[in-house]
Amino acid sequence: MRYLPLTDPDRAAMLEKIGADSVDVLFADVPAEHYLDGPVAGLPLAASEMAVEKHMRRLSKKNLAAADAAFFCGAGAYRHHVPATVDHIIQRGEFLTAYTPYQPEIAQGTLQMLFEFQTQVARLYGCAVANASMYDGSTACWEAIVMAARLTKRRGVLISGGLHPHYVSVAQTMARFTDEAIAYQLPTLEADPGDDALIARISDDTSCVVVQYPDIMGRIPDLQRIADAAHEKGALLIVANTEPVALGALEAPGNLGADIVVGEGQAIGVGLQFGGPYLGLFAITNPKHVRQMPGRLCGETVDADGKRGFVLTLSTREQHIRREKATSNICTNSGLCALAFSVHMTLLGEKGLTALAAENHRLACLAADRLDKVPGVRVLNDTFFNEFTLVLDKEARPLVRKLAEHGVLAGVALGRLFPHGEGLDDGLLVTVTETVTEDDIETLAKSLEEALS
């Protein structure tokens, strides 16, 4: 087997040193009746690299790659151009094949990168401190809810209808097993994101209000108003962002009253990958809350020679020290995705991120104007960044499936996201990033026209 360096003479010499007759003897603690004599039956045997590659390529070709379609899907996972440099860097063996930086003397590469990453995220979100990443946006959102409960000692969780339904679903699942009481209503097919209704429901039991910005239909809620209302009742505002590129054009949540900002970082550097691995971002505006934060943190310090260096720090919050009293059970984070994000963000910088956001918005406006002209199609949104909701005059799901047969991935039907949502079936969430061409927009418009006529 090409990955196993021991030769048979090696094995013999080592067994002799150990004083065992065979490798099987080393497994003597396994009860004989449960020890397998040979390979698990019914499974294939070893295959050459060439054979495996062929097999996997065949499987991959059964998927329609976004590059081969006119592509308008978003809803929490965004297709942006990732510079080739990003993939080159994350494939450096020293980054790719390192472990969590437990030994800082020989892990400054990862540690300095994490310190830079934390700073980038904190600035993007308008926050004081960000952690070294979480699994993804949906789990980061739940961790934020739990953190809010710890901080406020309240259990009422008010979730906006604009939050990504998967994020809602994760929270509802987890709350089944904990004490949180979740209040959530499905969104409605209106241009208004429903800030008033949300604010009206904040109570003295509310630990936190969770708002997505921009929301699942692309609408932009008024964070400052919600924050003020929440704070008045002693509740925290958690803002979830699924499209970090939007923050190149929109004011940062941390600057608009958010207490905890979480999000999905995938859009920058990571790529689609059928939904994972992604990159949970987590930041707070009040640095005093840092000891209640989940996840790994990297901090600056000095070494014995006085040189600047970085270490994982405040680990007393974490499970490997605190065990059942930990702030979270998270252990592995999303280090390599954080690297990808950080490299891409470094290439962009202030100027590039702003320009990228502007280009997304320009194309999205263009698309909205064009699609609004299609008979049977209406653009729902008053406000949006790079995704918006179309209201069709028929159900969107079958239409999306039909268009896919012709190489048009038209977007995400709200009926897929909200299978039990009344009145949402005709909604189609369309996302337009810089990877979309004007030809693609025309193709989508024509396809919709045809399908709806």
- Binding of a second copy at residue 100 (CB under 8 A)? no
**What one-character DSSP code corresponds to residue 261?**
E
Q: CA-to-CA distance for 287 and 280, rounded, in angstroms?
A: 19
Cα radius of gyration (the chain) = 25
- Binding of a second copy at residue 98 (CB under 8 A)? no
How many residues can be counted in the chain? Answer: 453
Tell me the one-letter amino acid at 240: A
- Binding of a second copy at residue 8 (CB under 8 A)? no
- Give whichever of 135 and 184 is closer to another protein, judged by the CB atom: 135
Least distance in angstroms from the C-beta of 50 to a second copy: 4
Which residues ranging from 345 to 374 are in contact with a second copy (CB under 8 A)?
347
Cβ neighbours for 346, distance < 8 A, ≥ 6 positions apart: 116, 120
Least distance in angstroms from the C-beta of 362 to a second copy: 14
Which residues ranging from 40 to 69 are in contact with a second copy (CB under 8 A)?
48-50, 53, 57, 67
Strand partners, 429: 389, 412
- Binding of a second copy at residue 302 (CB under 8 A)? no
Least distance in angstroms from the C-beta of 201 to another protein: 22
User: Which of 242, 244, 238, 243 has its CA nearest to residue 226?
Assistant: 238
- Binding of a second copy at residue 323 (CB under 8 A)? no
The answer to whether the CB of 172 falls within 8 A of the CB of 182 is yes
435 binds, among a second copy, another protein, none (CB under 5 to 8 A by kind): a second copy
User: How many residues at the interface with a second copy, by CB under 8 A?
Assistant: 17
**What one-character DSSP code corresponds to residue 68?**
G
Which residues ranging from 76 to 95 are in contact with a second copy (CB under 8 A)?
81, 83-84, 88, 91-93
**What one-character DSSP code corresponds to residue 215?**
-
157's tokens: 């969780």
326 binds, among another protein, a second copy, none (CB under 5 to 8 A by kind): another protein
Least distance in angstroms from the C-beta of 435 to a second copy: 7
Cβ neighbours for 317, distance < 8 A, ≥ 6 positions apart: 291, 292, 293, 294, 326, 327
Note the maximum CA span of the chain.
82
Least distance in angstroms from the C-beta of 269 to a second copy: 14
| Contacts to a second copy by CB under 8 A | 2, 48-50, 53, 57, 67, 81, 83-84, 88, 91-93, 347, 434-435
